C-alpha cells in the first residue's frame, strides 16, 4: 500500500517542483526592472547631450551608462606611458541613429573591437581601444559636465 502512494505522489511532487521553478524563473523583480529603466534613461540623456555638442561624435558606452569619447589629440597621452590593466570586453553593437544606447555599443567602432582598461590613477577616466595594431584612447564624458 505504501508503494502505491509513493508511486502516485512522486510524479505529483516532481511536477509541482518543476512548475514552481518555472514560475520563479519568470518572475521579474521590480527593483531590477526599475534600475534598468533608470540606467536606460541615463544613457539616453547622456547620449543626447553628447550629440547636441557633436552629432557625429565617436563614442562608446560601457559600465551600464558611462560614455567614453575618442580623444582627438592622442599625442598628449603618449607621454603618460599608459599600460593595459585587463580586457574589459568588446563592442557588441553598432549604434544606429534613433536607437537607444546599450552597454558595449559604439557609434564608430565595429562590432568585435576590443576594449581595455588601463592601470593607474586615470583607470576610470580612460579606456584603450584596439584598432588594428595600435591603441586609441577614449576619455570618460561626465554627464554633469556636458
Residue 69 has pLDDT above 80, yes or no: yes
The rounded Cα 62 to chain-centroid distance in angstroms is: 4
What is the rounded CA–CA span in Å between residue 20 and residue 27? Answer: 11
pTM to 2 decimals? 0.72
pLDDT in tens, 88-106: 999 999 998 878 889 999 9
Q: Report residue 123's pLDDT band, with 50, 70 and 90 as the boundaries.
A: confident
pLDDT tens sequence across 5-40: 445 555 666 766 676 556 666 656 666 565 556 667
Q: Supply the pLDDT for residue 47.
A: 85
Contact 136, 128 (CB under 8 A): yes
Across residues 118-126, what is the average pLDDT? Answer: 86
Report the distance separating Cα 131 and Cα 81, nearest Å. 18
d(C-alpha 92, C-alpha 103), whole Å = 8
Mean pLDDT of all residues in 58-86 = 87
Q: Shortest CA distance to 108 belongs to which of 128, 78, 131, 124?
A: 131
21-25, 54-58, 75-79: which is most confident: 54-58
State yes or no: pLDDT of 117 exceeds 90: yes
pLDDT of residue 136: 93
pLDDT at 81: 80
What is the torsion angle, in degrees rounded to the nearest 10, for the CA atoms of residue 55, residue 56, residue 61 and residue 67? -60
Strand order in the sheet with 59-62: 84-90, 114-118, 126-131, 134-140, 66-70, 59-62, 105-106, 93-94
Amino acid at each position: 500500500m505504501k508503494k502505491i502512494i509513493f508511486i502516485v505522489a512522486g510524479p505529483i511532487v516532481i511536477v509541482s517542483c518543476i512548475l514552481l521553478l518555472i514560475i520563479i524563473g519568470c518572475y521579474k523583480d521590480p527593483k531590477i526592472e526599475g534600475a534598468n529603466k533608470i540606467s536606460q534613461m541615463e544613457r539616453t540623456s547622456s547620449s543626447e547631450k553628447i550629440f547636441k555638442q557633436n552629432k557625429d561624435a565617436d563614442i562608446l558606452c560601457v559600465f551600464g551608462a558611462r560614455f567614453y569619447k575618442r580623444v582627438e589629440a592622442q599625442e598628449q597621452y603618449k607621454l603618460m606611458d599608459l599600460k593595459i590593466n585587463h580586457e574589459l570586453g568588446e563592442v557588441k553593437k553598432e549604434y544606429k541613429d534613433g536607437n537607444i544606447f546599450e552597454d558595449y555599443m559604439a557609434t564608430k567602432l565595429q562590432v568585435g573591437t576590443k576594449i581595455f582598461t588601463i592601470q593607474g590613477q586615470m583607470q576610470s577616466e580612460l579606456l584603450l581601444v584596439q584598432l588594428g595594431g595600435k591603441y586609441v584612447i577614449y576619455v570618460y564624458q561626465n554627464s554633469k559636465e556636458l
